[in-house]
């Protein structure tokens, strides 16, 4: 039987609030933005008033760290699970402001109706109604006099029973005496185990990750500027999505605006490109992996705690160095030139809109590769060539879709050993062999997923090759992707449905072509044999029915750009499966030719 590695102790809410105020429990200002709405805060207070349980809190005391003078220092308690509940309590009972998921600082005011014994989110109507106590914070103030508050309420509400009001308010005040179970994890648990617990135990909200734990560790540290670094990460990611947020930071957080980080992200206020809008997980992965040469974020948590991987001890010097290196990695990540170069490389490979990118981790490692190649001093043209080819290879092989951290860790360690160029070329030659292009890729193209990486790369290939839209004389695939376009079914959907084919059959990506909406509408549900023969007639008599092509050679070139076999004019027009098989081969060949251009 496994040894229990935790203790369970009930503590009054008043004690927990005292720990928060004193810093005994680390709940930094923006450890995680407060994601509860005010109604949930009201419900929490109501549960406490009625004596209902509100769940356990889970804390872990940071490992004992060896200080520079050789002495030992016990760490603070880190709140593993329960931050939203604790934050709700300090907001409602202590009047603390909270930072919302929109990065707005707000006060949550909960009102109480002593006669009806119910809570409500305070609003202007309640504030004008004398029967309500508009903000219960006044009841929990250290200077609050319950008798004085009762008389003030009775004065505003004649004919109420003062004794009953006093008793009700007294019962409300007593909720801070309610006990909450605190599960404290054993201090000697290793980082990996605590990380796993952290990910598993979140009982009331979104799934947590190792990145969440790392962000908690960063924010909990004030000694080496972790709390400010956490703000920098959060603000950068928010600005990348909402540039207009810049002014709000400037006015709402003047302390951060004076920091060294704020000027380094000022360029985002004028940036409207969404090719790479990183989350804090993306930012951490890139900064950590590129700077530390490791790919697992649990290692970052360990290093920020001062873990010496050789001695298995915790040392302050390692924690200090780790925060310094992470800060360097974050600042490098924020660099406008680096970001612009990465986006330029992706665009130059044909990925001109966000929806072509696919999984974010393919971009993350492309950025890591760029930063490492730059650190190695490679020529800019060589860097672009390597990053483009690696990025597309990882999309085609779905390299980072399964266990990205393990793949990141393996790749970055091999890069450290062999160098960027040698490793990239070795992996590409192994992954994109002759059999991949000839046999495997055509098989992978047999899918109905419009977000399939193979279809995304195929569209990027069309952009790179400057292909025109299906049956378009002047409008390019690039134009269609940037604006409105239809994914046209070469064998019309209704035509195939009428033949009894299922959704997964008629929605094969080998049946797709990007087209102008008016061309798609004009073709409608016509059988391929009909409208392809009409296209030949269009080229013979010049009467336009589908697009503006009136030259037979130009039509054939357009079909070639879209990998449509010429057999569609005769035998393939009646054999959908044979058509798909032939087109997949042509699409795979096009992707291969495109890859050679990178």
pLDDT tens digit sequence for 177-224 = 999 988 888 777 766 677 667 666 654 444 457 787 788 788 777 789
CA pair distance 523, 546, nearest whole angstrom: 7
Maximum Cα interatomic distance, the chain, rounded to a whole number of Å: 99
The DSSP result for 495-556, as a single string, is HHHHTT--HHHHT-GGGEEEE-HHHHHHHTT--HHHHHHHHHHHHHH---SSSS---HHHHH
Least confident window among 13-17, 130-134, 510-514: 13-17
Question: Around Cβ 276, how many Cβ atoms within 10 Å?
Answer: 18
Closest residue by Cα to residue 467 from 456, 480, 452, 449 = 480
Q: Measure CA of the first residue to CA of the last residue in the chain; give whole Å.
A: 57
SS3 564: coil
Looking at the DSSP assignment, which residues form a beta bridge with residue 65?
A: 73
Q: Report the relative pairing of strands 72-73 and 105-106 from DSSP bridges.
A: unpaired
* Whole-number pLDDT of residue 573: 85
pLDDT higher than threshold 50 for residue 67: no
* Whole-number pLDDT of residue 102: 66
Residue pointed to by tokens 């004085």: 148
CA pair distance 477, 470, nearest whole angstrom: 8
Closest residue by Cα to residue 512 from 493, 495, 484, 532 = 493
Question: CB-based contacts of 65: which residues, under 8 Å, 6+ apart?
Answer: 72, 73, 75, 305, 306, 314, 315, 316, 319
The DSSP result for 132-190, as a single string, is SBS-THHHHSTT--HHHHHHHHHHHSTT--HHHHHHHHHHHHGGGGSEEEEEEE-TT--
Residue pointed to by tokens 């103030």: 141
Phi, psi of 118 (to 5 degrees): -135, 155
* Whole-number pLDDT of residue 69: 52
Residue pointed to by tokens 């929990």: 140
Tens digit of each residue's pLDDT (9 = 90 or more) over 491-510: 999 999 999 999 999 999 99
Tens digit of each residue's pLDDT (9 = 90 or more) over 434-453: 999 999 999 999 999 999 99
Question: Around Cβ 113, how many Cβ atoms within 10 Å?
Answer: 15
Mean pLDDT value across residues 262-286: 93
> What Rg, from alpha-carbon coordinates, does the chain have?
31
CA pair distance 153, 170, nearest whole angstrom: 14
DSSP state, residue 293: S
CA pair distance 477, 466, nearest whole angstrom: 7
SS3 265: coil
Per 3-state DSSP, the chain is made up of helix, strand and coil in percentages (nearest 5) of 60, 10, 30
Mean pLDDT, the chain, integer:
89
Closest residue by Cα to residue 92 from 32, 143, 49, 155 = 49
Least confident window among 74-88, 344-358, 367-381: 74-88
Crossing angle of helices 280-292/404-418, nearest 10°?
A: 30
pLDDT higher than threshold 80 for residue 33: no
Mean pLDDT value across residues 412-423: 97
């Amino acid at each position: 039987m496994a040894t229990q590695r935790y203790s369970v102790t009930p503590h009054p809410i008043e004690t927990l609030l005292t720990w928060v105020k004193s810093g005994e429990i680390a709940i930094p200002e923006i450890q995680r933005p407060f994601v509860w709405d005010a109604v949930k805060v009201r419900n929490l207070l109501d549960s406490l008033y009625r004596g209902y349980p509100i769940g356990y809190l889970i804390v872990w005391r940071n490992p004992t760290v060896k200080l520079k003078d050789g002495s030992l220092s016990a760490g603070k308690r880190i709140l593993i699970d329960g931050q939203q509940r604790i934050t709700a309590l300090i907001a409602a009972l202590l009047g603390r402001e909270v930072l919302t998921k929109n990065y707005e600082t707000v006060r949550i005011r909960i009102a109480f109706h002593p006669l009806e014994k119910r809570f409500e989110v305070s609003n202007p109507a309640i504030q004008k109604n004398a029967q309500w106590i508009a903000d219960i914070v006044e009841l929990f103030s250290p200077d609050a006099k319950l008798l004085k508050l009762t008389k003030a309420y009775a004065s505003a509400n004649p004919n109420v029973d003062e004794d009953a009001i006093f008793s009700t308010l007294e019962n409300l005040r007593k909720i801070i005496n309610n006990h909450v179970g605190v599960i404290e994890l054993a201090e000697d648990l290793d980082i990996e185990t605590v990380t796993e617990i952290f990910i598993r135990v979140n009982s009331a909200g979104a799934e947590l990750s190792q990145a969440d734990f790392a962000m908690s560790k960063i924010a909990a540290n004030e000694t080496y500027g972790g709390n400010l670094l956490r703000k920098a990460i959060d603000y950068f990611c928010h600005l990348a999505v909402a540039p207009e947020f810049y002014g709000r930071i400037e006015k709402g957080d003047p302390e951060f605006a004076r920091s060294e980080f704020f000027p380094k992200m000022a360029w985002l206020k004028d940036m409207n490109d969404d090719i790479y809008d990183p989350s804090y997980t993306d930012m951490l992965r890139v900064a950590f992996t590129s700077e530390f040469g490791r790919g697992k974020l649990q290692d970052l948590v360990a290093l920020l705690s001062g873990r010496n991987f050789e001695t298995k001890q915790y040392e302050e010097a390692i924690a200090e160095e780790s925060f310094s290196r992470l800060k360097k990695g974050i600042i490098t990540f924020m660099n406008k030139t680096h970001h612009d170069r990465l986006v330029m490389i992706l665009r130059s490979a044909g990925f001109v809109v966000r929806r072509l990118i696919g999984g974010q981790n393919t971009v993350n490692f492309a950025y890591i590769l760029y930063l490492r190649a730059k650190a190695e001093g490679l020529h800019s043209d060589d860097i672009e060539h390597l990053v483009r080819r690696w990025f597309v290879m990882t999309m085609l092989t779905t390299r980072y879709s399964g266990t990205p951290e393990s793949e990141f860790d393996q790749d970055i360690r091999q890069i450290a050993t062999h160098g960027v160029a040698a490793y990239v070329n070795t992996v590409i030659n192994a992954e994109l062999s002759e059999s991949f292009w000839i046999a495997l890729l055509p098989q992978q193209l047999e899918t109905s997923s419009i977000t399939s990486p193979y279809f995304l790369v195929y569209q990027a290939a069309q952009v790179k090759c400057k292909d025109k839209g299906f049956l378009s004389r002047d409008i390019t695939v690039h134009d269609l992707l940037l604006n409105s376009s239809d994914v046209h079914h070469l064998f019309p959907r209704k035509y195939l449905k009428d033949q009894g084919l299922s959704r997964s059959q008629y929605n094969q990506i080998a049946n797709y072509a990007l087209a102008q909406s008016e061309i798609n509408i004009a073709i409608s549900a016509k059988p391929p044999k009909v409208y392809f023969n009409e296209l030949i007639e269009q080229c013979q008599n010049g009467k336009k029915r589908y697009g503006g092509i009136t030259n037979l050679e130009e039509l054939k070139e357009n079909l070639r750009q879209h990998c449509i076999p010429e057999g569609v004019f005769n035998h393939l027009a009646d054999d959908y499966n044979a058509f798909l098989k032939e087109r997949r081969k042509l699409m795979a060949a096009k992707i291969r030719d495109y890859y050679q251009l990178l």
